[in-house]
Amino acid sequence: MEAFGLLLHGFAVLLTWKTLLLMMVGLVLGIFVGVLPGLGGPNGVAILLPLTFTMDPTSAIVMLSCIYWGALFGGAITSILFNIPGEAWSVATTFDGYPMAQQGRAAEALTAAFTSSFIGSLVAVLLITFLAPMISSFALKFGPPEFFAVYLLTFCSFVGLGREAKHKTVISMSLGLLLAGVGMDTVSGQLRMTFGSAELLRGINFLVAVIGLFGISEILLTMEERLALRGHAAGISLRVVLSVWKDLPKYWVTLLRSSVIGCWLGITPGGAIAASFMGYNLAKRFSKDQESFGKGRIEGVFAPETAAHASGTSALLPMLALGIPGSGTAAILLGGLMVWGLNPGPLLFVEHKDFVWGLIASMYLGNVVGLVLVLTTVPIFASILRVPFAAVAPMIVVSCAIGAYAIQNAMFDIWLMLGFGVVGYVFKKIGIPLAPFTLALVLGSRAEDAFRLSMIGSGGDMKVFWSNGLVGSITTLAIVLLFWPVIDKAIAGLGRMLRPARA
Amino acid sequence: MSNTDIEIVVDDPTAPEENSPAVVSTGVVDIVVSLLLLALAVVLGWDNWRTGASWDSTGPQPGYFPFYLSVILGGASLYGLGAAFLSRREAAETFVTRAQFRRVLAVFVPTFLFCLATQYLGLYVASFLLIAGFMRLVGKIALWKSLLTAFIFTAAMFVTFDIAFDVIMPKGPLEAAFGY
């Protein structure tokens, strides 16, 4: 129960007027970002990151994580009222949410979405509270070979389990790792891949790349679409909220199932998008009345929203415990940690107790405050969509430029951001996934350091990655995951060969 | 209740037409990107080879890790190149239509000019010009609304970043005239 005491301490850190105010500001900005087309969780967090540079780390992370919760809540508003998913993970919410709004049950659908988001996050936060300290204290025994093996596992699972074409994932990942190596080499102090350019000496900053890849490219993509919309305006009355909550216990199986799926996919790099679809599909498959899904069934809102939020929240678990982000947004928060001078990894739980437990406590508090906030302010946020995109787009561009410049005070970074914007646009259109790129860019130098330190330790013997049971099994698992599609096919083929023999 | 309670309607008069001809197919873009990535892999690989990509007494040299990554990147791009040539289905798909491309350029060109202006005029002046110009010329919004929105947004950014949070942005002659 040590975790409980520390959590209470975390709440004590949080309960100051300043932090609560920052929390509200973060949530409002986040919902805003979630509602606007062409801006999502990762973009919002990346663009607003510079605001936090001069804050102390605890206030900064509280505000940023609240932007994240806000964006998660905000995505549901547009899916239900306008049939436009503000975020990819709210696509599944539109299946039943929009029909409900058409039937005049918008308030009910919104309440269901917000409540189930809240439940999903809560389950994930509980998991983080009790599991993260355990994992991190276990990981304290890790040496460089173990860390490299864990990084390898993360990368391999992306390649092996991702749904994109394998070579495209490999391209995205190796490009990210390469760009992470540009600049001064941290071990030898030698310059690499700078080609005599003084600007490249600093290296390619992760956050600049993210702002370009997600912010600028998203605007280019949004412009391709038809931006007209029509939808419902809805206010939520206390009566509707209470009636939905009264029915909640009936759906406990759906809620629990979606939470579990979400937590699992959040910790492994499956992501909130996969989680929301899987939550929806499973709820449909296990339902007695499958036909009614897609026609405005409240379970069709509960299932994907719970899973998406559980996944989005639990993606922070590996980031806190091991320094490995489970999602794009978590990767950006990790980038933030480094800017504030904290070293991500298991030592965080030992060296910065206030920070870690402040963050975990803010997850509880942020979700409660967020739930109340969205339930009361939905009409205001829905009307944001009346603002024409021609006014919103240039403002987003300016915010992106401010964000990119503020990180290192370099004009070059604004140009770099523009370049990454074009790269992101092209990559998205030809199906090269961006998440592995982001992950590789943020983990690249640490993965390389871990590799080289293990090599120096072992005198250049690759056997160090199989030197004990722990590191050996992680490395083996990584290689199995890398070749998982091949292995999967081989097993299926073997099964086919055996079956006729038996028949 | 029926659909009568639709209350929020936003139109998009300049939306790209559905039947616009394709500028370029996905297959061609795929091949060009693969070639560019291959070239990048060769250049980076060569640079790392020059830095030293083998082992010395202390372990791997600085270029070792990135050199082999360049090899992986090059290999994957080659594979992508082959796959793009073989795949007939993807080759025919539209990458972008002419109408869509026009809209994308309508954002990209102003953004490019904005970056250029930031370099010489400072971020705030450039931001005012971008927002006002974009709203007026691309969005066809009334001039006074465009100017007012641009001014309020730029002023709000200035107060938030330069004054309240001490995040200093690039400045130009205008700010210098006011003593910033």
Record: contact B10-A227, CB cut-off 8 A: yes
User: In chain A, whose CA is at the least distance from the CA of B97?
Assistant: A224
What tokens were used for A64? 């940023």
A394 token code pair: 């240039």
B3 pLDDT band, cuts 50/70/90, is: very low
- B109: pLDDT strictly greater than 90: yes
Report the share of chain B in percent with pLDDT over 90: 31
Measured between CA atoms, the residue of chain B closest to residue A402 is B169
Q: In the prediction, which pLDDT does A420 show?
A: 94
d(CA A318, CA B146): 45
Distance from CA of A472 to the nearest CA of B (A): 21
Question: Mean pLDDT over all residues of chain A?
Answer: 82
How many domains does chain B fold into?
2
Interface test with B, best of A54, A223, A227, A414 (most B CBs within 10 A): A223
Q: Which residue of B has its CA nearest to A170?
A: B76
Chain A residues in contact with B10 by the CB 8 A cut-off are: 227-230, 385-386, 388
- The pLDDT value given to residue A344: 78
Whether A43 has a pLDDT exceeding 80, the answer reads no
Q: Same structural domain for residues B91 and B103?
A: no
Q: If DSSP codes are grouped into helix, strand and coil, which group holds residue A429? A: helix
B102, containing H or E segment? helix B98-121
Query: Strand (E) positions, A108-228?
Result: 183-184, 191-192
Report d(CA A293, CA B50) in Å as an integer: 61
Residue in A with minimal Cα distance to B126: A398
Q: Find the closest chain A residue to B82 by CA distance.
A: A167
**Identity of residue B141:** I
Nearest residue of chain A to residue B99 (CA atoms): A224
Mean pLDDT of all residues in A245-251:
84
Residue for token digits 């998009």? B12
Of A190, A386, A448, the CB nearest to B10: A386
Nearest to A397 among B9, B30, B114 (CB): B114
CB contact under 8 Å between B106 and A223, yes or no, is yes
Q: Which residues constitute the domain of residue B71?
A: 23-96
Residues of B in contact with A63 (CB under 8 A): none
Residues B122, B57, single domain; the answer is no
Kindly state whether residue B140 falls inside one of the protein's structural domains.
Answer: yes
Q: Answer yes or no: is pLDDT of B38 > 50.
A: yes
- Higher-pLDDT residue of A40 and A352 is A352
Inspect the interface and report whether the beta carbons of B33 and A426 lie closer than 8 Å: yes
- What's the pLDDT band for A389 if we cut at 50, 70, 90? confident
Question: Per-residue pLDDT tens for B50-103?
Answer: 888 777 777 778 888 888 889 999 999 999 888 888 876 666 778 888 888 888
Q: What's the rounded Cα separation, in Å, for the pair A482 and A159?
A: 6
Do residues B51 and B71 both lie within one domain?
Answer: yes
Q: How far is CA A54 from CA A25, A406, A407, in A?
A: 16, 11, 11
Q: Is residue B10 part of a domain?
A: no
Residues B88 and B113 in one domain: no
A460: left (phi over 0), alpha (psi -120 to 50) or beta: left
- pLDDT (tens digit, 9 = 90+) per residue, B151-174? 999 999 888 888 877 778 888 888
Question: What is the model's pLDDT at position B91?
Answer: 65
| B53 lies in the same domain as B27 | yes
DSSP one-letter code for B21:
P
Identify which of B114, B179, B109, B112 has the alpha carbon closest to the alpha carbon of residue B150. B114
Alpha carbon of residue A219 to chain centroid? 20
pLDDT of residue A503: 45
**CA A317 – CA A211 distance, rounded (Å):** 24
Looking at CA atoms only, how far is residue B22 from chain A in angstroms? 13
* A172-204 pLDDT tens trace: 989 999 888 888 777 777 788 778 777 787 888
| Residue B165 maps to a domain | yes
Query: What is the number of residues in chain B?
Result: 180
CA B135 to chain centre: 19
Mean pLDDT over A438-455 rounds to 84
Q: Which chain B positions have a beta carbon within 8 Å of A385's beta carbon? A: 8, 10
Task: Report whether pLDDT(A147) > 50.
Answer: yes
Does residue B11 belong to any structural domain of this protein?
A: no
First-to-last C-alpha distance (Å) of chain A: 57
Of B34, B69, B96, the domain-final residue: B96
User: Which residues 2-61 of A have a C-beta within 8 angstroms of B?
Assistant: 50-51, 53-54
Percent of chain A with pLDDT over 70: 95
Which residues are CB-contacts of A321 (< 8 A; sequence separation ≥ 6)? A131, A132, A133, A135, A136, A139, A346, A349
Alpha helices for A181-327 (secondary structure H): 206-210, 217-224, 238-247, 252-267, 271-285, 299-314, 316-322
Chain B residues with CB-CB distance to A425 below 8 A: 104
Q: Is the pLDDT of residue B6 over 60?
A: no
pLDDT band, residue A448 (cuts 50/70/90): confident
CA separation (Å) from B15 to A68, A223, B12, B18?
31, 9, 6, 9
Helix, strand, coil percentages for chain A (3-state, nearest 5):
80, 0, 20
* A419 and B CB contact within 8 Å: no
Identify whether residues B40 and B64 lie together within a single domain: yes
> Are B135 and A391 within 8 A, CB to CB?
yes
* pLDDT given for residue A271 in this prediction: 67
pLDDT of residue A501: 56
Task: Find chain B residues with C-beta within 8 A of A177's C-beta.
Answer: 66, 69
Whose structure tokens read 């640490």? A446
Residues B105 and B57 reside in one and the same domain: no
| Interchain proximity B12–A227, CB inside 8 Å | yes
Last residue within a domain, chosen from B65, B96, B127: B96
Chain A residues whose beta carbon lies within 8 Å of the beta carbon of residue B153: 395, 398
A165, A181, A399 ranked by CB distance to B65: nearest: A181
The beta-strand segments (E) located in A363-472 are none
Beta carbons of B104 and A220 less than 8 Å apart: yes
Contact (CB<8Å) A390/B66: no
Question: What is the CA angle A461-A463-A464, rounded to 5?
Answer: 85
Counting one residue from chain A and one from chain B, the pairs whose CB atoms sit within 8 A come to 218
Report the candidate in A221, A200, A223 with the shortest Cα–Cα distance to residue A415.
A200
A229 to B10: CB separation less than 8 angstroms, yes or no: yes
Residues B47, B64, single domain; the answer is: yes
CA distances from B107 to A82, A210, A401, B139 (A): 25, 19, 14, 11
The closest CB to that of B119, out of A51, A409, A411, belongs to A411
pLDDT of A292: 80
For residues A310 and A128, is the Cβ–Cβ distance under 8 A?
no
What is the distance between the alpha carbons of residues A224 and B138, in angstroms, rounded to a whole number? Answer: 14
Beta bridge partners of A232: B6
> What distance in Å separates the CA atoms of residue A443 and residue A177, rounded to the nearest whole number?
8
B84 lies in the same domain as B102: no
The H or E element that residue A231 is part of is: strand A229-232
Asked if A174's CB is within 8 angstroms of B59's CB, the reply is no
What is the Cα–Cα distance from A128 to A362, expressed in whole angstroms? 12
**Residues B107 and B89 reside in one and the same domain:** no
Q: Between chains, do A181 and B77 touch, taking CB under 8 Å as contact? A: no
The predicted model gives A255-279 an average pLDDT of 81
At A353-371, the pLDDT tens digits run: 878 888 888 888 888 888 8
Are B35 and B73 contained in the same domain? Answer: yes
Contact call for B104 and A223, based on CB within 8 A: yes
Give A-chain residues touching B63 at CB under 8 angstroms: 192
The pLDDT of residue A82 is 81
Together in a domain, B126 and B78: no
Domains of chain A by residue range: 2-141+229-408
Which of A37, A64, A59 has its CA nearest to residue A48?
A64
- Output A382 or A411, whichever has higher pLDDT: A411
In Å, how far are A183, A189, A212, A231, B54 from B64, measured between CA atoms? 15, 14, 29, 56, 6
Final residue of a structural domain among B48, B71, B96: B96
pLDDT at position B4, please?
Answer: 41
- pLDDT of A321 higher than 70: yes
- What is the Cα–Cα distance from B103 to A396, expressed in whole angstroms? 17
Nearest CA in chain B to A423: B33
Q: pLDDT: is A329 or A39 the higher one? A: A329
Does the structure show a pLDDT above 90 at B113? yes
Cβ distance of B65 and A452 shorter than 8 Å: yes
Determine, for residues B8 and A230 on separate chains, whether the beta-carbon distance falls below 8 Å. Answer: yes
Across the range B4-10, mean pLDDT stands at 61
Q: Which residues pair with B55 in a beta bridge?
A: B60
Of the partner residues A165, A175, A191, the one whose CB lies closest to the CB of residue B73: A175
A341 close to B (CB below 8 A): no
pLDDT(B150) > 90:
yes
How large is the average pLDDT for residues B33-54?
88
Residues A272-281, mean pLDDT to the nearest whole number: 81
